[in-house]
Amino acid sequence: MKHASTIGELRKSGYQVQSVKDEVRNNLIRKLQAGGPLLPGIVGYDHTVLPALVNAILAKHDVLLLGLRGQAKSRIVRLLPTFLDEYVSVIKGCEINDNPFKPVCRRCTELVKQSGDEVEIEWLHRDARFSEKLATPDVTIADLIGDIDPIKAATQRLHYAHEGAIHFGIIPRTNRGIFAINELPDLQPRIQVGLFNIMEEKDIQIRGFNIRIPLDVMIVFTANPEDYTNRGNLITPLKDRIDSQIITHYPRTLQDAIAITEQEAWLQRNGREMKIPKYFREIVEQIAFEARKSEFVDQKSGVSARFTISAIENLVSNAERRAILLNDLFVVPRICDLPHALPGMTGKVELVFEGEQEGPVKVSKALIGKAVKEVFKNYFPDPLQRRTKQTAESRQHDDSEYAIIVRWFEAGNRVEIADDMPLEAYLRELDRVKGLRETTKRHMNIPESNSYEFASAMEFVLDGLHQSSKLAKDEVDHVTSYKDMVGSIFSGRGKSIEEEF
């Protein structure tokens, strides 16, 4: 398609200039009518955040996305330009993307007066119509709005009060586009005051001179509720000028959480086939769910989606390291790999005083244990569930579910598993436990011929019994030992981390 190159050609083509908010609104309506995802890659917000955002755009509002860390606020903001037209016409060389039919800056106004319809125009892509600024304490009014440029004034022999001496800030340069400020409370209050005119009157004033430039810009803010008290504040008059405040949240189901992590984590390693059983993905996500309700974790800070992304990447990396060392064809994680996820977890949770006393590693291990216990109950009967009004036959079945396994350990037996064991040795060690293979086969839909995944599932059974206080467990130098619980109680070892808490 050939674009017009002058104002005259543009006028003859019947081109209509829309305001940014009308443009975004109309394109949103078209997307709604066409169906399909509005914001690709945003998971779990279909019935909460997205309807609120759609309503705000339809109402032509400026928006504040308010939520804890790792809730896709920045991702949403960066997808908003997809609602802009692919190209928009601007006067060629204009610093603030002036509307060819209605210029507002001094340079373009005089240019149109002199040359009229012969003034050249250019076409600006939607990607160039989006700007964002991370709010930090050192951000100034000059950064956002602009200031008088003495060098420019001297070079062009202009009076300081002349509009041509202005060096425009990032907001005017985003005229006819979308501007975003991330972490708004970090912006100093006096700088927030400078946004009043832009939010309400849609114009800028610079250095007190009688210069008012009306802007056409959609403004989007992001903020973390914790920042209101810990790092800064959001002044009430500015908050009042923001039309819609939309609350974000963490995934509410394991399925949504798994979908997010699978989308964001780097799991397709080169050279070897990756096999991650579903229950491993569930365990990793359940760790975050447990952290978000733990009394040792500061809930005001939140637990970011990056927590599970880093955790599963580290988990898979340890499985990959083992596959490389042993020259295995497949990369399959094991329960004994879970401690290697700790480096991706400990730096991503803020602990309360009691949690700091326990230490981040101990708290993280306890969260892993709770997650394994919860996910285990989704695949196997709960070893701790008390049943009433049972028949003798059903009681006998429940007693025998894990009884053979537990009695084998009560006889003084134990298994030792290292995270670098070859598959044959790993499977052989697990097969020593009487009843373990049969119990795994009965409840896990994994064929025995799939040795890699079946062996991991067998260890899953042992760890589930440990987290349910049926077996004891020791971890020394990444060698895991499972043994009888009663004997370990007398020796003072083998308790689950959860019990120690």
pLDDT tens sequence across 143-165: 998 876 666 666 766 665 566 66
| Same domain, yes or no: 341 and 378 | yes
- For the stretch 451-481, pLDDT in tens is 999 999 999 999 999 999 999 999 988 899 9
10-23 as b/e, with b when 16 or more CB fall inside 10 Å? beeeebeebebbeb
Find tokens 């007066």 and name the residue. 113
Judge whether residue 33 has pLDDT over 80.
yes
Mean pLDDT score across all residues of the chain:
88
Q: Which of 223, 171, 164, 166 is nearest to 202 (CA)?
A: 171
| Same domain, yes or no: 362 and 393 | yes
Q: Is residue 379 part of a domain?
A: yes
Q: Is residue 2 part of a domain?
A: no
pLDDT-above-90 percentage for the chain: 69
| Same domain, yes or no: 314 and 192 | no
Which of 195, 214, 247 marks a domain boundary? 247
DSSP category for residue 104: -
Judge whether residue 324 has pLDDT over 60.
yes
| Same domain, yes or no: 334 and 397 | yes
How high is the pLDDT of residue 160? 54
Range with lowest mean pLDDT among 41-50, 172-181, 216-225, 262-271? 262-271
Find tokens 């119990």 and name the residue. 439
| Same domain, yes or no: 240 and 271 | no
Q: Write the Ramachandran bin of 44: left for phi over 0, alpha for psi from -120 to 50, otherwise beta.
A: left
Residue 489's pLDDT band (boundaries 50, 70, 90)? low
| Burial category of 271 from C-beta neighbours within 10 Å (exposed 0-12, middle 13-18, buried 19 and up) | exposed
Average pLDDT over residues 86-113: 92
| Same domain, yes or no: 394 and 346 | yes
Residue 330's pLDDT band (boundaries 50, 70, 90)? very high
List the CATH number of the domain containing 181.
Answer: 3.40.50.300
Which of 222, 247, 272 marks a domain boundary? 247
Q: Is residue 212 part of a domain?
A: yes
Say what the pTM is.
0.87
Judge whether residue 1 has pLDDT over 50.
no
CB atoms within 10 A of CB 350: 16
Q: Which tokens is 288 given?
A: 């975050």
Cα separation values, 141 from 135, 207, 231, 323, Å: 12, 10, 20, 55
Q: By three-state DSSP, how is residue 181 classified?
A: strand
Residue 392's pLDDT band (boundaries 50, 70, 90)? very low
DSSP category for residue 242: -
| Same domain, yes or no: 160 and 296 | no
Average pLDDT over residues 47-53: 97
| Same domain, yes or no: 320 and 216 | no
| Same domain, yes or no: 285 and 210 | no
How high is the pLDDT of residue 490? 52
Q: By three-state DSSP, how is residue 484 classified?
A: strand
How high is the pLDDT of residue 301? 87
Residue 331 is part of which domain span? Answer: 254-500
State how far the Cα of 94 lies from the Cα of 389, in Å rounded to an integer.
82
Residue 340 near residue 419 (C-beta atoms within 8 A): yes
Q: Is residue 459 part of a domain?
A: yes
Residue 77's pLDDT band (boundaries 50, 70, 90)? very high
Range with lowest mean pLDDT among 24-33, 124-133, 265-274? 265-274
Which of 220, 247, 274 marks a domain boundary? 247
| Same domain, yes or no: 21 and 37 | yes
What total number of domains does the chain contain?
A: 2
Cα–Cα–Cα angle for 300, 304, 308, rounded to 5 degrees: 140
Tell me the range of 346-355, 399-408, 431-440 where mean pLDDT is highest: 431-440
State how far the Cα of 303 lies from the Cα of 1, in Å rounded to an integer.
48
State how far the Cα of 453 lies from the Cα of 441, in Å rounded to an integer.
12
| Same domain, yes or no: 380 and 441 | yes
| Same domain, yes or no: 328 and 477 | yes
